[in-house]
């Protein structure tokens, strides 16, 4: 019961972090967006994946074969996507952030 609540909080925290990342281009310069993106990618490399996702996996809040993007898309649309589609969506998120920073910062 408590694990379910923690997993739900982690899911929404993850969603909030992704939403905040996409919008940072509205109020930070392109240099900051690049730095934050670099730090995030280093975090993924250093820990072998996202720490929030690892915690969600440990608490059985994420299926073992999914990451947060695939699970989020499943939760919001009810559709499963492939690993390749997850990767494309990930790079689309990063691209959108850069485009927003180019035009609005």
Q: Are 80 and 74 in contact (CB under 8 A)?
A: yes
* DSSP string for the chain: -HHHHHHHHHHHHHHHHHHHHHHGGGTS-HHHHHHHHHHHHHHHHHHTS-HHHHHHHHTT-S-TT--HHHHHHHHHHS----HHHHHHHHHHHHHHHHHHHHHH-
pLDDT by residue (tens digit) across 2-61? 888 999 999 999 999 999 999 999 999 999 999 999 999 999 999 999 999 999 999 988
DSSP 3-state of 63 = coil
Q: Is the pLDDT of residue 63 over 90?
A: no
Q: Are 34 and 21 in contact (CB under 8 A)?
A: no
């Amino acid at each position: 019961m408590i694990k379910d609540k923690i997993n739900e909080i982690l899911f929404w925290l993850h969603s909030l972090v992704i939403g905040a990342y996409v919008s940072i281009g509205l109020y930070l310069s392109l240099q900051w967006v690049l730095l934050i993106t670099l730090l995030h990618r280093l975090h993924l490399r250093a820990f072998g994946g996202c720490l929030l996702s690892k915690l969600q996996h440990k608490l059985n809040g994420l299926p073992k074969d999914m990451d947060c993007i695939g699970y989020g898309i499943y939760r919001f649309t009810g559709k499963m996507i492939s690993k390749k589609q997850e990767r494309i969506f990930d790079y689309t998120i990063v691209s959108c952030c850069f485009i927003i920073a180019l035009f609005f910062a």
